[in-house]
Every structure is written in C-alpha cells, then in structure tokens.
Structure 1
C-alpha cells in the first residue's frame, strides 16, 4: 500500500516548482547555485537565472550552461538594479510553475530541499512552506542554524498571528511560495536599491494571512564569506547608511503588518528589532568613529521614539535596557557597558548604581534608566558579569575569573563553582574543560579600570553587597591545539541555580598580547588572548615553529601592505 501511494504521489509532484536564482558579478559562484537547483530533480520545472547587469561574464556562463540544460532559462537585465528585489520580481513575473522559491548566487540548495518543501505545501494545502536555513561560515565550514526554534518540528500554522515567532525569520530563501498566492495579493519585493528587502517581502506575505507549513528539514545553505572583496549587504555594516537602510526596512515591515490589522505581528517585529538588530549594531559601536556613533545614536533615538510601551514590553530585557539608554541620552555614552549588555548572553558590569530610594539604575548620570527587573528576575537569566584574565607563562598558564555582585543577587544564590570550556570557533566542539571553586574576593566592589571613564563615575551605591568572587585554574594550552577558541562558562550556585555565560576579556597591562611559550608537545606555542566584538575572551593558538612562523609571516605581510 505504501509503495502504491508513493507511485501515485510521484507524477503529481513533478514539474511543480520554479527556482529563481539571482546574481550580480558573481561568476565564481553562480553556476554552483544553479546546479544545486537543477540537481533537485523532476520536481523543478524550471530554473530562472536572473543576471542583474553583470560585467564579469556571469551571464555568458549561464547561457553556456543553458545550452545543455533545457530547464534553465536566463534572464538578462540591461542595467544593474542596485538590489535583490528587482531581479527576484523578474523571476516571479517570468515563472509558469505553480510554486516558486529563491536562491542567491553565492548560496546553494541542499539535496532534497525542494521535495521536502513541496511535499509540505501540497500535502497540507499551504500557500507557504518553510524549512531550516543554516549559515555556513567559509572557509571554516562551521554551520549555525538560523531561527532553529521555529523549525524544531513540523507544524501547520493556519493563522500567522498565532505564531508571532514567524516575524523573526525574515529570510525569503528558505521558503516555497504558491505563485498564484503571490500574484493574487500583489506581493512583491521593493524595487531598485533597497537593502533588507527580505524584511518587507516577508511582512507582506504574513500580512496576507497564508497557511504556512513548517518543516524541520534543512532546505537552504547560506554561505557567509566575511573575507570576500565585496561583502554582502547584511555583512557590510561599516557605514551608517547600512543602519539607516535597516531602520527603513524595519519601519516599512511594521507599517505593512499594522496596516493589515496584524497588530500582534507588528509589535513582535518591533520586539525583534530591539533584541536582534539593536543589540547586534550596539556591540560594534566602539569599533566605529565618532561621526558614525553620533549619527547612529541620532537615527536610533528618532526611530525608538515611535515605539510605545507595548512595543518595549514584548522585547527581552537587554534590548529594552539598551533602548532606554539611547532614549535617555542625547549623545553616545557608556559604549563599553552598552556593548556588554548587547552581548549574548548579556553582561551588566559594575558599578551598580541606585537611585535615592534604593531602586537599581543604569548610572548616577542616567537615573531614568531603571533596572528594577534585576531584583526579581531568576538568577539563571540575570546578566551576570565575569571578568577573565588569561596569562600565558613559560612556567604555566593560568585562567583567573572574577564574578561581580549584582545588587545582592549573587550573594543570595551563593557562588559555588564554575565550569569553563574552550570551544572551537571552527566546529563548536569543546577542546578543554576545567572546573574551579569560587572564593570570596577580599577586595571591595570597585569598578573595573576599563569602565571607569565610560560610566560617568557612578558608584555602586549603598547595600550593593560583597564585591566579587574569584576562581583560578591552570590551563593546558597544548591540549587545545591550533585554532581559535571561545571561552564559555557555566556558573554553579549553592541554591542549585546554573547560569551559562561568557567572560569579559580584561584589558589590563600585558593581558591581551601575543606570547610565545614553550611546549613539551610542540616545542613552542604562539598564544594570543583577545577580545571579540562583544568583548568576550577568546584565544588563538599556533603550535610549533612552523605555526609560529606562519602567523608572524601573515602579520608582517599585513604591515607591509
């Protein structure tokens, strides 16, 4: 019986899908994207490759490929549109297939993606089917799932507003759309140069109230090439115009949802802005110049001023706190501390100020930013602050951790011990696990040296409790081997609470610098503790004389060029 059903289902599934591949000056990758679409099998009726006015021979490559592949159709735009929306709209207009999906020229579809999405859409009578996208970092190959909570298991969503998490997945490429649905509702991408066009397109889809089938299958591989000569729009955040474009797209998506009567989805989209976009860009503020910071701050204040209390209430605490700081100060301030709160997990470093009535506040200079939630929030969700010092030495490397008090909450829970893991940046595996006990620090609750100038001199205030607890352990660097390692912590408290977090990289004299240390296994190790963009401690290691020479050689070439 099952075999008969499979035979009956087979022909009806054939020639149902159009895959639209868009590209501009990407001759190195576009044919791989097209081939990954063609390799999906007979379910794909056609692959429409839209070349957006390339000058690098991309279109000619596609034309030659089409000579041997009747399912491939090449559409050549005379001039570059400046964005991704116009070529995708060309694909929607050109297709004759009942379903359509989109692929960017530098990404690929994994085997079976189209069949999995088509089965879900056709089998559940859904206008949209969506699956898991993974971000693959190149050249390392490390993969990070995108919005995995949405795609943990198969589900049918008949009313999108009942699953507000849908607004968190702003991608269009991990989805299959019924062509007639898009055309009936006039759903298109913004034309021309409009960065973050996905945000608006996704909002227009949700505003139309489709039945959506969600599947747990991997259906899209998003290649992230941070070393590329021309970064993608989502990666090139160095200019403030990128932030302006992101705000514009977010605002239009919000207006689209609100205009369609989808208030719950509209508010959820603003909560996502606070928790994702605001935190991501805030982590990078201290890397930018003064002019960028001033303009970013002004743009953000103006946009946040359009939010109401309901918009803020839905967002997780870190995004709300950052927004409050921006709204409370006309000029950029406390950037180091803002970056720490923006980290994942969030960290709130001392000093811990209080208002005259004892209410926790951001600082004496910004008492309007209250932090009352810290008095009631469960300990396993608190933005605990841990400073880390890694000192590579010939006689032995040691890791020293200092956990700061947080308005008495740490003392109440009772710090007991910490599990520290060095996790490979390449594949996420643990290279070394350590455990150490926390002991009360004899010193008082002083502000760290690298925060003193940022927080305007606000002190911890009365009733702040013990200053900190310290834990120290030896580290066998040779056991880690070559690569880049992130430090992850699991704090254990006497009341049974466990809090997972990261550690702030202390920047005291001589702490964040390269060191060459002897090793019985490798002869020598080149060790580089450093702070990530979020301020967390990470570690690079190059073992052996050849490894040391290679690293120093690359550094010399960068200096010469």
Structure 2
C-alpha cells in the first residue's frame, strides 16, 4: 500500500496531460501511486495515460461510466480506487515541483495536519513558467483557519495532500452542477468547520496553467459560486440569517483579497 495516492481527473486534456504526469512521475518522493480518471474523453487522453501506465506500474487508468460534466465525480472515483493513507490531487494541466510530495509529507508527519497545501504560481498557456526553486532552510508555514477560508479560498486543489481519513469523514466532493469549480472550496470548509487543521507552505510547489476555457476563468461567476458555498457553511452552523446580512461585506473582502493575490503576488 503506497503512502500517497495521487488522483488526476482528465477530460480532453491530450495537449497537457503528458507534461502533468511527467511532473508527477519525477517526484523525489517515490512511495506513491497515481489514479487517472478519464471522464469519457473523446481525444487521445486515454492513449497518452495508458502509455504512462505501461512505463510505470504506479500509474493506473480508470474511465468513468459516463461523463460527470465536472471534476468532482472523477475525483471521488479516484479516491475510491486508491489506497494511500494520504491523497494528493492534481488537475490535468498543472505542474508539480519535483520535491513537492517529499516536502509536504515531511510537514504532514511533523505537524499532524489534516491538509497540507502550498503556494501556487500561475502562468499563461504557451508561456514558460518560472523554474521551481527548492527552499533552502526553514520553510514558511501558515495555518489556514476556518475563519480565514471564509474570506478567501487559500487552498489550491493541485497543491493539496490530505489525510484519507479526514477526506472520507468530510464526505465526497459535491458533484452537483451548482458546485462545479467550487467543490474543493466546499470540501475545505467542511474539513476546517469540523476542527480539521490546514497548513499552507509559503513557497511555490505548483504551476497552475491559466486557460481561457477553464471552468474557473469567469471571475464574477467564481465569486458568486464561492459566496454560495460560504452561505451553505453558515447554514450548517445555524447562522444563515447572519450570512444574509454579511453577504455584501463578504463580496468586497473576497474580491479584494483575491485580486490582490493575483495582481501583486501572482499566487493562488
């Protein structure tokens, strides 16, 4: 049984999936397996993934029985098919630093955190991302509380490793259409809302590829969806009426914080 299982949902990602899987294959931490879940792609994604499976026995290909229309369903299938005590997530067009899992597993073991995430740097499609620079010395760490998450989703999915037990207790990713592109935010709020601990590494470990066709490309839509998820969190805690009063303030804070992180620091 591997220490870490990596779950990668794929849908028509033939242009990028080989580069993504190569960055996973090249990890300095080697005790992992990879579960790529194909959401009924119509391009050559399956062929490319299966070539990786033939080269490396740690890689496994799964095809969903029907198209989910979003990544939450394939992620849930990947978790079900995996056995690692920790689960790591990576989208089909993102890139990992070669020491990502090594650094995160050391921090996860030392801290006992339920989720370990990291800074993510974005880059435009067709642009060469800046080289990863392995931190020299003590790594900056930040605790991401439930309250901080209510102001911004500080946890980029492709940067996450999480305890299987914590993810399973929180429940599956919400695969409804209303939660597409915010199903991960919903998961982090559920984990931290029940006392789960999240640590964010303050050094970039993931390159996030910005695509015009990305589900999350519409900023105004993403803010509306994020606020809906925050509202559901207030409802779970019996504070729905309070959120309705605070929604305008949440909008301003969420938009302002996200804009600053992207424009000034190019971080997610």
Q: RCO higher in 1 or 2 (8 Å CA, sep ≥ 6)?
A: 2
Runs of 4+ displaced beyond 6 Å: 317-320
Q: Distance in 1 between matches of 2:56 and 2:230?
A: 38
RMSD: 3.3
Q: Is the 8 A contact 1:23 1:105 kept in 2?
A: yes
1:125 to partner: Cα distance: 0.8
* Secondary structure class of the residue paired with 1:27: coil
Describe the SS at the equivalent of 2:60: strand
1:307 aligns with 2:237: no
CA deviation profile, 1:158-211 (whole Å, cap 9, x unmatched): xx246457743253222110001111232x212254422233223222222212
Instruction: Name 1:218's counterpart in structure 2.
Output: 204
Of 233, 253, 260, the residue aligned with 2:215 is 233
Match for residue 116 of structure 2 among 102, 126, 129: 129
Q: Give the drift of 1:89.
A: 0.7
- Counterpart pick for 1:174 among 159, 184, 189: 159
Contact 1:22 1:50 in 2 (8 A): yes
Alignment check: 8 A CA contact 1:113 1:217 kept: no
Q: CA deviation at 1:74?
A: 0.7
Change (3 A) 1:314 1:253: closer
Find the counterpart in structure 2 of residue 26 from structure 1: 13
CA gap 1:232/1:312 in 2 versus in 1, 3 angstroms: closer
1:254 to 219, 231, 236: 231
Per-residue displacement from partner, 1:210-235 (whole Å, max 9, x unpaired)?
12222223221101133xxxx11112
> Could you say which residue in structure 2 is the equivalent of 1:198?
184
- What CA distance in whole angstroms lies between the structure 1 residues aligned with 2:83 and 2:36? 14
The answer to whether the 8 Å contact 2:151/2:254 transfers is: no
Instruction: Tell me what 1:420 maps to.
Output: none
* CA distance, structure 1, for counterparts of residue 127 and residue 253 of structure 2: 33
Structure 1 position 129, deviation (Å): 0.8
Give, in whole Å, the separation in 1 of the partners of 2:54 and 2:254. 54
* Equivalent residues in 2 for 1:83-98, closer than 5 Å: 83-98=70-85
| Secondary structure, counterpart of 2:117 in structure 1 | strand
Structure 2 residue runs of 5 or longer lacking an equivalent are: 131-138
Q: Following superposition of structure 1 onto structure 2, how do residues 494-513 of structure 1 map, counting pairs within 5 Å?
A: none
The structure with the greater share of residues assigned to helix is 2
Q: What secondary structure is seen at the aligned counterpart in 1 of 2:68? A: coil
Contact 1:206 1:257 in 2 (8 A): no
Q: Deviations over 1:229-288 (max 9, x none)?
A: xx1111257xxxx83x7634531342124414689xx98xxxxxxxxxxxxxxxxxxxxx
Report which of the two has the higher share of strand.
Answer: 1
Is 2:89 aligned against 1:102? yes
C-alpha contact (below 8 Å) 1:17/1:43 kept by paired residues: no
Q: Give 5+ residue unaligned stretches, structure 1.
A: 1-13, 144-151, 268-305, 321-343, 346-424, 429-561
> Normalised by the size of structure 2, how large is the TM-score?
0.79
Q: Residues 85 and 253 (structure 1 numbering): CA distance in 2 closer, same or farther, change over 3 Å?
A: farther
Match of 2:33 among 32, 46, 61: 46
- 8 A contact 1:134–1:218 mirrored in 2: yes
CA–CA distance in structure 1, aligned partners of residues 25 and 154 of structure 2: 26
TM-score scaled by length of structure 1: 0.40
CA distance in structure 1 between the partners assigned to 2:214 and 2:254 by the alignment: 27
**1:28 shift after superposition:** 1.7
Displacement after TM superposition at 1:97 (Å) = 0.4
Q: How does 1:377-456 map to 2 (within 5 A)?
A: none
CA shift digits 1:107-140 (9 cap, x unpaired): 1111111111111111111111111111112323
Aligned-partner SS, 2:201: strand
Relative to structure 1, the CA distance from residue 127 to residue 318 in structure 2 (aligned partners, 3 Å threshold; closer, same or farther) is closer
SS at 1:173 equivalent? helix
